[in-house]
Structure 1
Amino acid sequence: MLILTDLDDTLFQTARKCPETTGELKVMSYLVDGTESGFATPRQQRTLSWLSHGRIVPVTARDRDVLARVNIDQAPAICANGGCVIGIDGEVDLKWHAILQERAAKGTPVREIYEHATEGLDAERFRHWVVAEGDLDLYIVIKSNTGENGADLQDLETQLSRHFPADWRIHRNGNNLAFLPSWLNKREAARYLIEQLRAADEDRPVIGIGDSHSDVGFMDLCDYAMTPTTSQLWKHVTSQNAWC
């Protein structure tokens, strides 16, 4: 069984987001300076233990370096919102990288759009960068410096959206605002990897787990889908649902 799963706010979260529990939290991720940053509750720890009976495949917005600071299987994996595929051998899939390079070359360079869109952005209120893998710029991230709930990112999204091509996707969840070119998404990377991992067993079941709107694309390719009931995705599912 394959388990394609998002990480942050799906299998663990920051201490601030952890619900009250009488059990001990397990450290799941670290910042670049070694500070503990992500924690799994006892229930999440049991879920991880259950999932370990299959092959866990992280599908994350984290790039390779940031994924490396997570206490979870690293290969195979999909990093940087589909911008990097890591094979079973732990090596970057160069064929997928070449496919993205070819697709990226047909559009306006991500770096060029980034510099134009973020020019004059208040550095005290917002931090921002381009996520890249190797020689390929992938997408743009903006976070607020004034709080983790990202309330001030809503207005910023509207303000900046005019700088981006019409076919780009915008994803906002909590204190995270991301702008992604049309050629980059978790769905296509997941399709590519699933085909490889199912080559020897076409009936191998696949479960997709995620918490946000951006996860739906790859979850839709799976046989079954799971989401935390505290997630952005589940709130959307239950909104105006007469049975809830």
Structure 2
Amino acid sequence: MALTPLLGALGRRLAAKLADERILDPELTVQPPSDRTQAIVVGYGRVGKVVCSLLTSHGVDYIAVDHDPIAVARDRRDGHKVFFGDATEPGFLEACGLMQTTGVIITIQSRTAIDAVVERTRAVRPDVLIVSRARDADHARHLYAIGATDAVPETIEASLQLSEAALVGLGVAVGHAIASVHEKRDEFRRTLQQAAHTADQEKSQPSSIAGRPSRRQ
């Protein structure tokens, strides 16, 4: 038991040393290019990598950013165009070319971080395209309300993909199945956008109760 404090201190010292070595990795000090890029992809996990792969296949120029130092260092050594940094920090996206880019694509998982990136991006770029991952329909409505151009709820998208696979498997022509899924996706999008718009209007209107004169004499 006498050794417990000593071991705890040693563990903390080793953890700090490992963290310092990780931060000093030269791959993490590489700065994003200063020239204009068409898109900034926030998050380079499994979802981000798929998005970036599709952007590349369609000739869309982009840079990706991620705040996981181990993953960024590994991916950069493997030749991936990703840079280390926290997109929720004020000024970081500006350093990545936010003021010149055409679109920001948010693929991270944290709801708090997603909200922060959307709000800060919209505050400095009222005109930029913001396409964001959303945790669910409620989160998507919130993202529309704070400025997202398009929000993709994970739960809804999973149900649409499941439906498409089921329709095709059950004999519905592929083209018809895809068309109906696209139609349903558009329907969900319109519903969520309208709900966000209605909520904004309600917030901006003064309370009818507060403005109603009292009947008491």
TM-score (norm 2): 0.32
Which of these two proteins has the greater Rg computed from alpha carbons?
A: 2
More helix by share: 2
More strand by share: 1
TM-score (norm 1): 0.30
**Greater RCO between the two (CA within 8 Å, min separation 6)?**
1
